[in-house]
Structure 1
Amino acid sequence: MDRLDNTVRPYAWGSTTAIPRLLGTEPTGEPQAEMWMGAHPGAPSRTARGTLVEVIDADPEKELGAPAVARFGPRLPFLLKLLAAGAPLSLQVHPDLDQAREGYADEERRGVPITAPHRNYKDANHKPELVCALTEFDGLCGFRDPVRAAGLLDGLGVDSLKPYVDLLHARPEDAALREVLTAVLTADPEDMARTVAETAAACDRLGGDYAPYAGIAHHYPGDPGVIAAMLLNHVRLQPGEALFLGAGVPHAYLDGLAVEIMANSDNVLRCGLTPKHVDVPELLRIVRFESRDAGILRPEAAPDGEEVYETPTDEFRLSRYVLPEGGATHDLTLDTAQILLCTAGGVRAGGHDLTPGTSVFVPAGEKAEVTGAGTLFRATVVV
Structure 2
Amino acid sequence: MDRLVNTVRPYAWGSTTALPDLLGVPPTGEPQAELWLGAHPGAPSRLDRGDGPVSLAEVIAADPGAELGAATVRAFGPRLPFLFKILAAGAPLSLQVHPDRTQAETGYAAEEARGVPLDAPHRNYKDPHHKPELICALTPFDGLCGFRHPAEAADLLEGLDVADLKPYVDILRASPEESALREVLTAVLGAEGHALAETVERAATAAAHLAPKGGPHAEAYAAYADLAHHHPGDPGILAAMLLNYVRLQPGEALFLGAGIPHAYLSGLGVELMANSDNVLRCGLTPKHVDVPELLRVVRFEPRDAGVLRPEDVDGEEVYDTPIDEFRLSRFVLAPGGAPRPLPARTPQILLCTAGTVRLTSDTGTTRELILAPGGSVFAPASEHLTASGDGTLFRATVVV
Pairwise CA distance, 1:188: 3.0
Whole-angstrom CA distance in 2 between matches of 1:192 and 1:68: 49
Q: Is the 8 A contact 1:332 1:370 kept in 2?
A: yes
Q: Secondary structure at the match of 2:108?
A: helix
Opposite residue 333 of structure 2, the aligned amino acid is: L
- Deviations, residues 140-176 of structure 1 (Å, cap 9, x unaligned): 0000000100110011011111111111111111110
Q: Is the 8 A contact 2:5 2:48 kept in 1?
A: no
Pairwise CA distance, 1:291: 0.1
Q: Secondary structure at the match of 1:311?
A: coil
Structure 1, unpaired ranges of 5+: none
- Deviations, residues 206-258 of structure 1 (Å, cap 9, x unaligned): 11231110001000001111110000000000000000000000000000000
Opposite residue 326 of structure 1, the aligned amino acid is: G
Structure 2, unpaired ranges of 5+: 212-217, 361-367
CA RMSD of aligned residues (A): 0.8
Q: TM-score w.r.t. structure 2 length? A: 0.94
Whole-angstrom CA distance in 2 between matches of 1:357 and 1:288: 36
Whole-angstrom CA distance in 2 between matches of 1:364 and 1:190: 53
Q: Secondary structure at the match of 2:15?
A: coil
Q: Is the 8 A contact 1:22 1:356 kept in 2?
A: yes
Q: Which residue of 2 aligns with 1:335?
A: 345
Opposite residue 289 of structure 2, the aligned amino acid is: V
Opposite residue 186 of structure 1, the aligned amino acid is: G
- Whether 1:362 aligns to 2:366 is no
Q: Is the 8 A contact 2:348 2:396 kept in 1?
A: yes
- For residues 101-116 of structure 1, what are the structure 2 equivalents within 5 Å? 101-116=105-120
Provide the identity percentage.
72
Whole-angstrom CA distance in 2 between matches of 1:216 and 1:370: 41
- For residues 202-217 of structure 1, what are the structure 2 equivalents within 5 Å? 202-207=206-211, 208-209=218-219, 210-217=221-228
- Deviations, residues 26-78 of structure 1 (Å, cap 9, x unaligned): 11110000000000000000113510000101100000000000111000000
Q: Which residue of 2 aligns with 1:323?
A: 333
- Deviations, residues 72-100 of structure 1 (Å, cap 9, x unaligned): 10000000000000111000000000000
Match of 1:147 among 151, 157, 165: 151
Q: Secondary structure at the match of 2:75?
A: helix
- Runs of 4+ with deviation above 2 angstroms: 188-191
Q: Is the 8 A contact 1:333 1:365 kept in 2?
A: no
Count of equivalent residues: 382
Whole-angstrom CA distance in 2 between matches of 1:361 and 1:300: 24
- For residues 114-133 of structure 1, what are the structure 2 equivalents within 5 Å? 114-133=118-137
Whole-angstrom CA distance in 2 between matches of 1:376 and 1:191: 49
Q: Is the 8 A contact 1:86 1:256 kept in 2?
A: yes
Q: Secondary structure at the match of 1:118?
A: coil
Q: Which residue of 1 aligns with 2:3?
A: 3
Whole-angstrom CA distance in 2 between matches of 1:143 and 1:331: 40
Q: TM-score w.r.t. structure 1 length? A: 0.99
